[in-house]
Structures are given as C-alpha cells and as structure tokens.
C-alpha cells in the first residue's frame, strides 16, 4: 500500500492549465466524440462583443452555462456548448474609431469604407483570440471546433436571407414585413446613425426653460430653435383658457418673419406644464409628430442629419442646434419675444447609449421590421409562446417583464448608418429598388446602411447550427437552455424569439434563464472609469478558477443582482482548499485499493449508517436543485455536507472507529460521489483529485451519482438506525459546550456520568465515540438512571442527563441552570398553547400535531429533571 503524497495546500496555478489541456485533448467537449449517447443537450452561448475582454459579468454567465453543461454531460447526454463572438456594430466601430484617432490621429474617412472594415475585422479576430483564452481559463467546456463569429460568411448569409424573406412577405394591402419608411427616429449626430429605442438612454440634465411670446400666447419651451419648424399650437381640450381659440389660425412673429399656425386641441397636452399651450414641431419631436398625424398637420424639417440647421433656416443655416438656440434667443430678446427664462430647469434628455451625445429626433428614411404584420405577427406569435410557457423562463417573474415588453414594442428600426456590420442587401437604380443577396447587375448601387447588430445576433440560435439542413440543426435545435444577463432581455431574448419563430416556425430554445448583474461590494455598477471592477483573470490568478466560480454561483439567485467583493472569493478559495485536504486525508487513509473489498453489513456502525443516509439525501436534493436551476441552493447544501457532516463528524469518527475495511470503502465511495457532485461547480480541483484515484475515465465524462450505487451496500435498517448518531452528536456537543462555557482547560480530563433514560440500549455501547470526539472525557459512566451527583457541571438534552464531575461555583451554576430553565419554560408554554388550540388539532396535518406533542413531552420531562437538580444544588 502506498500513501498518496499530496501537497498540504492546493495550488490552482500548477493544476488548471494542465487539466484544461487534458480535457481539450480528450475531445469530449465535442459532442461528435460522444456519439454513443442518444439524448442531446445544447446551449448556444451568447457571443460577447469581440472588441475587448471578458468582465466578471461574462464570467458569471459562462460559469452558469458551464455548470449546466457539465452536469448534463455527466447525466450521459451528448452535450454541446457552442461558443462565439459578436461583431457588435456601433460599439465596436466607436471603440475602433477612438483607437485609430488616439494611435494614428486619423478617422474612418481617412481609411475609406473597405480598408476600415478590413482593419476592424482583423482587430476583432485578434481580440477574439484573447477572449477565447479567457473563456478557457474559466474552465468553459465548449466545443471550440464549432466556434462562430457573427460575420462569418455562412452566418451572415442566413441572416441576410431572412431579411430578403421578410421583404418579400407582403400582406393583402401591399405592406411588407421589412420595409423602408420615413419616420422620426432617434438620430445620433456624432455616430451619424439612427438608433433603436433601446439604444437611447435618458439622463437628467440641467437646462433652461424659455417662456416665449408667441402671438396671442406665452408658452414654455426648452428648445426655442425648433420654432422654425413649428406648424401648430396645441392645448388640452378641457382647458378653459384657450377654449375659444381652438380651430383658429394665428400669425406668429418670428426671427425669420411671420408664420401661420393653427390652434388644435389634443389630450396629450399637460394643462399644468408651462402655460398649458405648447408649440408643435412635428419633424423634431416624437410626441409632436403623433399629434401632427392625429390632426393632419404639415411637417417642416429644419435640422439635418449632421445635427445642423438646414438651408430653410435663413441666417441660422449651418449652425448646430446649440449655436442656433443661442443666436435665436438673442435675436428674440432684441425683438422682445422672450417673456422670461427659467435657469434651473431639469429636463430628461435623450442621449446616445454608446457615446452619450444628445439625440436629435429627425425624420429619416430607414429600414424597419413590422412587428405586427398581417401575414405573421411577430409580436402576437411571441406573446403566445411566452403565455403558453412553450419557452420556460427562469426566474418565473421575468415572464411578466417579457410580456410587458412585448406589449409595448414598436416597429424595429434595423438600419444603421455605420460601416461595421453586414450591409443591407438592397440595390438601387434609377429610383428602382431590388432586395436580394447578389447585385442585380450593372449600374445597381447597394444600400449604404448596415444592419442593427441585434438583427444578426437575433438569429444566433439557428445560424450557428447550420440552418436549415445541417446535422447540428437537426440534432440540437431548439436548444435546451439559453442563458443571458437580465439587462439584454429586450435586446436579445425577445429578438431571438421573434426571428426564430418567423424563420424556423418553432421556438429557439426550451428554457430561458436570466442571470442578475454583478455589482461591487457596495452595490455600485462596475465600470472601467470608476475602477471598481473585479477582473476575472486577476482573481483567477490570485485565488484560482474554482474559487471564482463558486463566488458567482453561491449566494446569488436567478435574475437578482449580486454584490461581489474579493473577500467572498477568498473565502471560497479557503473552501476549495478544505475539500483538497479532505481528499488528502481520505486518499492517504484508504491507500490504493478498496475495489475488491466487500462490506459486511453487520460491521457497520451508527456513524456509517448516518453518513450514508446523508450522502443519499444530498444526491437526491442536489440533483433536484440543479434541475430546478437552484444552483446556489445546491452549492450551499454540498458545502454544508462537505464541511459540517463529512469533515467535521465522519472524518473524525473514521480516525478511531474499529471497522477499517468498511470505513475505507465508505470513505472512498462518498468522496467519489462528492467529487462528481462538485464537478460542475469546481471542475479543476475535482478532476485533479479524481486523477489520484487511478480512474479509467475522466471525471468530465463520469456518470452522475445515483442512489442505486448505495443500495447494495447498506440495507433497510438504515432508516431506523441513522438517528442514533445524531443523539451521540447532541451529547458530544453538549459536553463541549459545558466545558467551554465553564472554561475548563482542554487538556483536563473529567469523569463523566450520563443517564440515558429510554435511550440506554442504543447509547450504552457508544462510549468510544463520546470519549474520542474531543470531549475531554476521562472515566465514563453510562447508566439508564441514577443518583444526581452534587459536585458536577450539568445539562440535559431530550431526556439525556450529562454530569461532568468537577468543582463548581454553586451560585454561578444555579444561575446558569435558572436561565436555561426559563428558556425551556417559555418554549413549553408556546407549544402548549398551540396544542390546546382546538382548531390546530382539527386542521393541522396529523404528522405536525404528533411532532409538536413529542416536542412538548420531551421539554416537559427535561424541565422536571432540571428542577430536581436545582433543588439538589441548593
């Protein structure tokens, strides 16, 4: 027999890269190498933006996906985790433009469209390589041979075809599902691009509110420069102040001369804002535009796509809106048209999510997707799917959020005026338009605009699987789980659902799981500029991957944000080390070979039966929790079992109980099952320990623990006997407690007398446990009952009386027992009250009633004995 020599402290750095290479070389990340398996499991991984690096949020998501992947692989499923990267249109273009400006002092126009595109492409490929290594560091068991990029030609082609199909989807009135239309859109002057609603942020900003004289009105506006585009004044229909004026037309003096407006009444107008009358600028305000449509008002555009005043603005033409505002206000002052100005006006300004530039709402030609098309309403189909729970959402509460979002969705603007991304396959010639993948021929010019990033990533669920004829599509679609941060529900989850429903006529995935966001210790959002971010690689370097994985898996719940600090990761590093040392002990004790030994049932002790019962429960519960996405709970239970049951009690017992053959078999079996249960959480350390068992298979593809594995070594009587060890535990704890409270030096052995009452038969032979479990017990007497010694520390637990023979301070001892007594009495009063309630007896389940009665009886008998002892003390 050789003793396993493992180092005292687990060193992840020496282990992780080695283990990952073994996994990769094994080929088992690729489901094609698990071909004997029938049932499949697939998770298409969300592609991170290929323009940077992974942050802790990515890490958290990947760890969750890998947990499920590894678990399902161990369940014997043909498992695919399919990785990829996203080109992230606007964001990457902004990042790269900043980069070339800083490093080379140039703009994208200096490079030209083709060269610019090529450079970003190379940049992304380079970043992807870096990020892939980060993903591997996390232990992600993904099939790298299938890795995809949203701009891979095969991926793009499928996505573009969808657009062509949608263009050709025409209802009876001639409306296309994908259409070009003039709409007011959110326009970012800096990006020179349209933005989708979800790409716009709102920020409270201090501005000014101008009260201007406006013909017969005085009205308040924060944007006086838009006066040049006004075509009406609107008031609330119930506003008595203006009732007589509605329907009339007025000439309004302005900086470019008089112009005519009509007064209209519309419920959108808030009577309490300003003077109750507002100017209507249909071309440059979403609300005004809606009012204009309702009242059939003309629209006059005065701001162009560079954010500057247009040629119809006289001397203000060419000014930015900001400049024009100043100039126009100055001129209006001269003309006496300014009533007064409020300086401290807080307004909610729309800004570009990517570059924080204020948005200009302007009318523009853009491509849209009709989400409520008559042939196939994306909105309605999605609603049905979510309502019917064809896709199950975790946590369940997010179903409501999804439905609420679907309710409020508008047509989706999919064109972006940027260079980085797939170009829209629409071709123009002499006012004609054709939508098809290839150029129709000579003289046709392709649309300049590219697609919104989410139009391609929204198709990720099937483009990655070689839709429509690929084997992967047949094998793995719809996938089992889709996991993403809760912040991208409207961006991505919803779009994947609608596009997949349209294209494949079925759901993209069966389960949709949202993770929360990770914040810093104080609950703030992590960001580079604040410098409060936790870098996953740095933490891995410091504490090991397994610790980082545990820190994001335990103590979090689906969809809820989590605060994370370094201290938490450190504490899990300590736990991983604990598991390492547990294994070190077990491996050293059992030596090499326990395989041929047979357990003799009659040699099993109460501790053996207790721990076997415990591990069986853990197997059932952890499996159940994982099935229900309760990862945190599963982890906590495993942690409790590992530390509090297995290490603190069973390992200690195993050091001296005298049935070594059985002990070694049980220790080995439990440790092996424990490693399997832990593997999806902490794959590296478990695989490393596993390798010390000289196993034929990698833990990676081992079989998930089952109860059958235990049934053949421990028989039925475990059910009745497993409780005995918990009695012993209670006695041992009570003795330790008594000694600690009374400050008995640990080395001092005390004669101990135990009166067991009814438990005599089962406890009488367990003296070896009571003596050896660090209780400092010297001579030990176990009797059914007997005389109460006068000089002793005393306690009673569920009818078992314990005396530690020692000199005592009678007054202090009386006081201690008095306190315990009064606690017990309060407890019994509460119990008695509950039991005396007739309704309780009638309506509560019988099992609960019996339980409560037992509790009361035990407590009452304890009180009796304790009172007797107190008498004796006096």
Partner RNA sequence: GGACGAUUAGCUCAGUUGGUUAGAGCACUUCUCUUACAAAGAAGGGGUCACUGGUUCGAGUCCAGUAUCGUCCACCA
Of residues 741-770, those binding RNA (CB under 7 A): 741, 743, 746
Name the packing angle between helices 12-26 and 683-691 (round to 10°).
80
Least distance CB 694 / RNA (angstroms): 20
Considering the complex, what minimum distance in angstroms separates the CB of residue 79 from RNA? 24
* 845 three-class SS: coil
Number of residues that bind RNA (CB under 7 A): 97
Nearest one of 406, 417, 442 to 362, comparing CA atoms: 417
**Alpha-carbon dihedral 139, 145, 150, 156, rounded to 10 degrees:** -160
Which residues between 398 and 417 bind RNA (CB under 7 A)? 400-401, 404-405, 408
Binders of RNA among 33-72, rule CB under 7 A?
none
Is 210 or 477 the residue whose CB approaches RNA more closely? 210
Task: Map residues 105-124 to x or -, x wherever contact with RNA holds by CB under 7 A.
Answer: --------------------
State the greatest distance between any 2 C-alpha atoms of the chain, in Å, as a whole number. 113
Residue from 639, 659, 756, 795 touching RNA (CB under 7 A): that is: 639
List the end-to-end C-alpha distance of the chain, in Å, as a whole number.
60
User: Is residue 4 involved in binding RNA (CB under 7 A)?
Assistant: no
CB of 210 to RNA, least distance (A): 8
Q: Which two three-digit tokens encode residue 657? A: 């109980």
Question: Strands 450-451 and 445-446, how do they pair?
Answer: unpaired
Tokens of 719: 């059910």
- Tell me if 843 contacts RNA by CB under 7 A: yes
Residue 135 · residue 62 · CB < 8 Å: yes
168 torsion bin: left (phi>0), alpha (psi -120 to 50), beta (else): alpha
User: Which one of the spans 447-455, 465-473, 625-633, 661-669 is the region binding RNA (CB under 7 A)?
Assistant: 625-633
Select the residue interacting with RNA from 740, 790, 812, 850 (CB under 7 A): 740
Q: In what order do the strands lie in the sheet with 445-446?
A: 432-435, 426-429, 445-446
Smallest distance from RNA to CB 422, Å: 24
Do the beta carbons of residue 482 and residue 509 sit within 8 Å? yes
- 647 belongs to the binding site for RNA (CB under 7 A): yes
Return d(Cα 242, Cα 217) in angstroms, integer.
Answer: 9
Site track for RNA across 485-514, x = CB under 7 A: --x--x------------------------
String marking each residue 537-556 x if it binds RNA according to CB under 7 A: ------------------xx
Of residues 208 through 247, those in contact with RNA by CB under 7 A are: 220-223
Q: Is 278 in the site for RNA (CB under 7 A)?
A: yes
Q: 248 Cβ partners below 8 Å, 6+ apart?
A: 262, 263
Residue 841 CB, nearest distance to RNA (Å)? 8
Instruction: Show the site string, 381-400: x = touches RNA by CB under 7 A, - = not.
Output: ----------------x--x
Q: Is 632 in the site for RNA (CB under 7 A)?
A: yes
The minimum distance between CB 464 and RNA, in angstroms, equals 26
CB 323 within 8 A of CB 270: no
Site for RNA in 567-596 (CB under 7 A): 567-568, 571, 573-574, 577-578, 581-582, 584-585, 588
Q: How far apart are CA 475 and CA 631, in angstroms?
A: 27
Question: Which distant-in-sequence residues (6+ apart) come within 8 Å of 297 by Cβ?
Answer: 231, 232, 262, 264, 280, 282, 291
Taking the least distance from each CB to RNA, the nearer of 394 and 464 is 394
8 binds RNA (CB under 7 A): yes
**Segment 683-702, which members bind RNA (CB under 7 A)?**
none
Interaction residues for RNA, span 765-824 (CB under 7 A): 774, 823-824
Pull the structure tokens for residue 857: 């009886």
Task: By CB under 7 A, tell whether 840 contacts RNA.
Answer: yes
Strands 792-797 and 800-805, how do they pair? antiparallel
Give the binding range for RNA (CB under 7 A) out of 2-10, 77-85, 102-110, 426-434. 2-10
Query: What's the closest the beta carbon of residue 94 comes to RNA, in angstroms?
Result: 18
d(CA 615, CA 100): 59
Min. distance of Cβ 740 from RNA in angstroms? 4
Which of these segments, 83-91, 317-325, 606-614, 622-630, binds RNA (CB under 7 A)? 622-630
Q: Rounded to the nearest 5 degrees, what angle is found at the Cα of 447, between the Cα atoms of 443 and 451?
A: 155
**Within positions 252 to 271, which residues make up the interface with RNA, using CB under 7 A?**
268-270
Considering the complex, what minimum distance in angstroms separates the CB of residue 648 from RNA? 4
DSSP state, 54? -
Collapsing DSSP to helix, strand or coil, 761 comes out as helix
- Could you say whether residue 561 binds RNA (CB under 7 A)? yes
Residue 564 found at the interface with RNA (CB under 7 A): yes
727 CB neighbour count, 10 Å cutoff: 18
Q: How many CB atoms lie within 10 A of CB 795?
A: 21
DSSP-derived pairing of the beta strands 777-783 and 432-435:
unpaired
Taking the C-alpha atoms of residue 670 and residue 672, their distance in angstroms, rounded to an integer, is 5
> Whole-number minimum distance, CB 555 to RNA, in Å?
3
Q: Are 4 and 588 in contact (CB under 8 A)?
A: yes
Cβ at position 196, least distance to RNA in Å: 8
Using CB under 7 A, which of 523, 595, 871, 874 touches RNA?
523
Nearer to RNA, 349 or 599 (CB): 349
Taking a C-beta distance cutoff of 8 angstroms, is the pair 390, 554 a contact? Answer: no
9 contacts RNA (rule: CB under 7 A)? yes
- Residues 194-213 close enough to bind RNA by CB under 7 A: 197-198, 200-202
Q: Which sign does the torsion angle of CA 54, 57, 58, 63 carry?
A: positive
Q: Which CB, 284 or 503, lies closer to RNA?
A: 284
């Amino acid at each position: 027999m050789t003793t396993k020599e493992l180092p005292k402290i687990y060193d992840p750095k020496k282990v992780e890269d080695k283990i990952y290479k073994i996994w990769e070389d094994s080929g088992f990340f690729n489901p094609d190498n698990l071909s004997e398996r029938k049932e499949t499991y697939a998770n298409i991984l969300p592609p991170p933006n290929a323009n940077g690096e992974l942050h802790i949020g990515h890490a958290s998501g990947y760890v969750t996906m890998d947990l499920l992947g590894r678990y399902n692989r161990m369940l014997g499923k043909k498992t695919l985790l399919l990785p990829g990267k996203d080109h992230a249109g606007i964001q990457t273009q902004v990042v790269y433009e900043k980069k070339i400006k800083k490093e080379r002092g140039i703009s994208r126009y200096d490079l030209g469209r083709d060269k610019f595109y090529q450079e970003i492409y190379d940049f992304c490929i380079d970043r992807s390589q870096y990020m892939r290594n980060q993903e591997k560091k996390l232990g992600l068991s993904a099939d790298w041979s299938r890795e995809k990029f949203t701009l891979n030609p095969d991926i793009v082609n499928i996505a573009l075809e969808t657009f062509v199909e949608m263009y050709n989807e025409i209802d009876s009135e001639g409306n296309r599902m994908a259409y070009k239309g003039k709409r007011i859109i959110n326009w970012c002057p800096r990006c020179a691009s349209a933005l989708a609603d979800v790409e716009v942020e709102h920020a409270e900003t201090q501005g000014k509110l101008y009260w201007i004289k406006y013909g017969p009105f005085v009205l308040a506006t924060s944007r006086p420069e838009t006066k040049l585009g006004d075509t009406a004044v609107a008031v609330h229909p119930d506003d008595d102040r203006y009732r007589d004026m509605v329907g009339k037309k007025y000439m309004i003096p302005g900086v470019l001369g008089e112009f005519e407006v009509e007064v209209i009444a519309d419920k959108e107008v808030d009577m309490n804002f300003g003077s109750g009358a507002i100017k209507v600028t249909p071309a440059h305000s979403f609300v005004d535009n809606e009012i204009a449509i309702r009242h059939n008002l003309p629209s006059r555009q005065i701001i162009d796509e560079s954010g500057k005043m247009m040629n119809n603005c006289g001397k203000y033409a060419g000014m930015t809106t900001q400049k024009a505002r100043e100039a126009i206000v100055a001129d209006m002052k001269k003309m006496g048209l300014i009533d007064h100005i409020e300086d401290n006006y807080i307004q909610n300004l729309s800004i570009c999510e990517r570059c924080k530039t204020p948005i200009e709402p302007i009318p523009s030609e853009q491509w849209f997707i009709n989400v409520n098309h008559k042939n196939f309403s994306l909105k309605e189909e999605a609603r049905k799917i979510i309502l019917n729970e064809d896709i199950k959402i975790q946590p369940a509460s997010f179903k409501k959020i999804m439905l609420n979002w679907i309710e409020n969705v508008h047509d989706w603007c999919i064109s972006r005026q940027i260079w980085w991304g797939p170009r829209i396959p629409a071709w123009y010639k002499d006012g004609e338009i054709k939508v098809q993948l290839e150029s129709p021929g000579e003289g046709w010019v392709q649309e300049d605009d590219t697609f919104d990033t989410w139009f391609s990533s929204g198709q990720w669920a099937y483009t990655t699987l070689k839709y429509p004829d690929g084997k992967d599509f047949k094998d793995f679609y719809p996938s089992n789980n889709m996991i993403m941060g809760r912040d991208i529900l409207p961006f991505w989850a919803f779009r994947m659902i609608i596009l997949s429903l349209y294209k494949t006529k079925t759901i993209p995935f069966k389960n949709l799981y949202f993770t929360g966001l990770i914040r810093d210790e104080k609950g703030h959002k992590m960001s580079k500029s604040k410098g409060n971010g936790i870098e996953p690689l740095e933490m891995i370097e410091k504490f090991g991957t397994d610790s980082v994985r545990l820190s994001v898996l335990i103590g979090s719940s689906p969809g809820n944000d989590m605060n994370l600090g370094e201290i938490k990761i450190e504490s899990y590093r300590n736990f991983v080390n604990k598991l390492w040392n547990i294994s070190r002990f077990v491996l050293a004790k059992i030596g090499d070979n326990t395989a041929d030994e047979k357990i003799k049932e009659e040699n099993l002790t109460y501790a053996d039966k207790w721990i076997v019962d415990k591990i069986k429960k853990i197997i059932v519960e952890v499996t159940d929790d994982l099935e229900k996405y309760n990862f945190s709970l599963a982890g906590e239970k495993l942690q409790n079992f590992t530390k509090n049951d297995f290490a603190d009690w069973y390992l200690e017992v195993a050091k001296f109980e005298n049935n070594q053959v059985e002990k070694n078999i049980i220790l080995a079996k439990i440790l092996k099952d424990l490693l399997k249960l832990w593997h999806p959480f902490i794959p590296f350390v478990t695989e490393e320990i596993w390798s010390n068992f000289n196993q034929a298979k990698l833990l990676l593809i081992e079989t998930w623990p089952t109860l059958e594995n235990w049934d053949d070594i421990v028989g039925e009587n475990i059910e009745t006997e497993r409780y005995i060890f918990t009695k012993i535990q209670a006695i041992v704890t009570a003795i330790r407690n008594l000694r600690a409270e009374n400050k008995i030096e640990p080395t001092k052995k005390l004669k101990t007398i135990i009166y067991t009452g009814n438990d005599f038969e089962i406890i009488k032979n367990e003296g070896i446990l009571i003596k050896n479990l660090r209780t400092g017990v010297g001579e030990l007497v176990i009797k059914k009952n007997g005389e109460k010694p006068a000089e002793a520390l005393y306690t009673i637990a569920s009818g078992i009386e314990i005396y530690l023979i020692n000199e005592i301070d009678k007054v202090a001892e009386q006081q201690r027992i008095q306190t315990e007594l009064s606690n017990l009495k309060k407890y019994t009063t509460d119990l008695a009250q509950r039991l005396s309630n007739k309704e309780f007896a009638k309506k509560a389940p019988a099992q609960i009633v019996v339980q409560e009665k037992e509790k009361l009886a035990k407590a009452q008998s304890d009180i009796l004995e304790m009172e007797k002892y107190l008498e004796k003390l006096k």
